[in-house]
Structure 1
Amino acid sequence: MYKKLVALTSTLALSLACLTGCSSSTDNSSNDKQELDNVTIAEVTHSVFYAPQYAAITKGFFEDEGIKVDLINTQGADKTMAALISKEADIGLMGPEASIYVYNQGNEDYAVNFAQLTKRDGSFLVAREKMPNFDYSSLKGKEVLGGRKGGVPLMTLEYVLKQKGLTIGQDISNGNTNIRSDVQFGVMAGAFAGGEGDFTTAFEPTATAMEKEKTGYIVASIGKDSGEIPFTTYSTTKSYMKENKDLIQRFTNALYKGQIWVQKASNEEIAKAMQPFFEDISLEDLISVVDRYKSIDAWAQDPILKEESLNRLMDVMTEAKELDKKAPYKNIVNTDFANESIKTIK
């Protein structure tokens, strides 16, 4: 999946939705004359799932640390990693599986994870009709749009279904559940609305939009049923980290401030903090999806990516037959910045 990453970087078109200038200066007038360091983050997708990040931007926590954030939505971990390796982005926000793949390829300037943002899968299982008494046995003999092969959302879905006693296979006539990986992540909702599959997975705000449009109905939380895994983390290349230690520390400080703020804020306050990034979504809907992610305890309380958590992810990857060997935690994870943030920020 990641063998052609370097080749991808030469042709990757990152003319995707670039969000700039969203940092709030309301409470940071002292920074008006300060020259900020620009940091480009390549997001694997643009979702309210990343609420602590958006809150950290609009509440001015990054500006407080002397950073101006630019966001690029790459629509896929492979493309996010390509942006990082090609230096189109300084920091990547994606699942740590991408850094595992790249490390195992033998890439010398591989990506190192330094801060965790989410601790569960943020996708929801969506059906064509309301199913208030949903049980996973309902997926027997059905077709599910699951996402990109090699991606954590697909692997986590398969992990949950196996835990629920379902058999995954293409022959649905025998009661198997066919998990399709041929539909790109960004168009899954549209494909489902167009009649493909019996179920699909979707992140927020897409899942709520589907319910409003009556093209699908949320029946289960994959993240709640799979348990905790390091679903989304920040990473950068070894070389960038070595050359920008102070910047990475300040970045982690800002993120941690956002994580602390989100834990204390109300659903409405969090929704309002994210509104500049989701202007096409009503405040009411934002509040609803914030509540949904809070209810499954989706966001990490601090930036530390723990070894046991990463090992669980690699177990899921191994079970999905997407990982031949585990990557050493000490090589692809650096917790120094996270530990320093926790020590100094109260």
Structure 2
Amino acid sequence: MVFEYILKKNNIDPKTDLSIDQSIDFGSTAAAFSGGQGDFTIEFEPHATALEAKGDGYVVASLGKDSGYVPYTAFSAKKSYIDANPEILQSFTNALQKGMDYVNSHTPEEIAKSIAPQFKETDLDTITAIVTRYYDQDTWKDNLIFEEDSFTLLQNILDEAGELSERVPYDTLVNTQFAKEAAK
């Protein structure tokens, strides 16, 4: 959906100007591309860097950079849970903010070294290349506050893809109190 949104922003009609094959299992798209299917592929890491390392492709653009801040990761809770457990939610959000503070105050090499144990199947050089790419793209915000502009962008993307039956007001669905407190 994000890819099609970016295409439309650049006056390319995804239905008539190109052919998008969505029949390939998401986990198999890099292998299909390496095997000769398609001229382009959309990959998450570490698959994009692996394609480059094998000489099978090159990263030519970032959907995240070209789309704007799309909230790829958001946490949801029932209102009853929020009301009953604000201290747990604040502690959780504070911990996530510490992670944001870390990535915004350390080099890609330091970040890669600290997260490497979580990615045992990926060598340190690859992790460093991935983190450097994200670092250079300004992927990480400095806080966790889910801004209204990002919420509107997400709804625009969903709407243009035909996946949104109605828009929801930002204030109805988004609670930023824990992120704002953590950012202090």
TM-score (norm 1): 0.50
Deviation for aligned residue 1:235: 2.2
Aligned counterparts of 1:243 and 1:188: Cα–Cα separation in 2: 43
- In the alignment, structure 1 residue 164 sits paired with structure 2 residue 5: no
Q: Which amino acid aligns with 1:292?
A: R
Aligned counterparts of 1:197 and 1:242: Cα–Cα separation in 2: 49
- In the alignment, structure 1 residue 288 sits paired with structure 2 residue 134: no
Deviation for aligned residue 1:333: 1.2
1:277 aligned to which of 113, 118, 140: 118
TM-score (norm 2): 0.91
The Cα offsets for residues 237-276 of structure 1, whole Å up to 9 and x where unpaired, read as 3343333221111000011111111111011110011101
**Segments of 4+ in structure 1 off by > 3 A?**
237-240
Paired residues for 1:115-194 under 5 Å: 155-169=1-15, 176-194=17-35
Aligned counterparts of 1:184 and 1:235: Cα–Cα separation in 2: 27
Deviation for aligned residue 1:162: 1.4
Query: What is aligned with 2:139?
Result: 298
Deviation for aligned residue 1:182: 2.3
Deviation for aligned residue 1:200: 0.7
Deviation for aligned residue 1:157: 0.5
Aligned counterparts of 1:246 and 1:212: Cα–Cα separation in 2: 45
Calculate percent identity across the aligned residue pairs.
Answer: 43
Aligned counterparts of 1:234 and 1:188: Cα–Cα separation in 2: 27
**What's the RMSD between the two structures over aligned residues?**
1.7
Q: Which amino acid aligns with 1:295?
A: D
2:106 aligned to which of 260, 265, 278: 265
Aligned counterparts of 1:192 and 1:277: Cα–Cα separation in 2: 27
More helix by share: 2
Paired residues for 1:11-22 under 5 Å: none
Aligned counterparts of 1:243 and 1:181: Cα–Cα separation in 2: 42
Count how many residue pairs are aligned between Structure 1 and Structure 2.
184
Query: What is aligned with 1:332?
Result: 173
Aligned counterparts of 2:26 and 2:74: Cα–Cα separation in 1: 19
Deviation for aligned residue 1:232: 1.9
Deviation for aligned residue 1:315: 1.2
Aligned counterparts of 2:80 and 2:41: Cα–Cα separation in 1: 39
- In the alignment, structure 1 residue 240 sits paired with structure 2 residue 81: yes
Query: What is aligned with 2:47?
Result: 206
* Partner secondary structure for residue 104 of structure 2: helix
* Partner secondary structure for residue 217 of structure 1: coil
Deviation for aligned residue 1:311: 0.8
Deviation for aligned residue 1:210: 1.4
Q: Which runs of 5+ in 1 are unaligned?
A: 1-154
Q: Which amino acid aligns with 1:333?
A: V
Deviation for aligned residue 1:203: 1.2
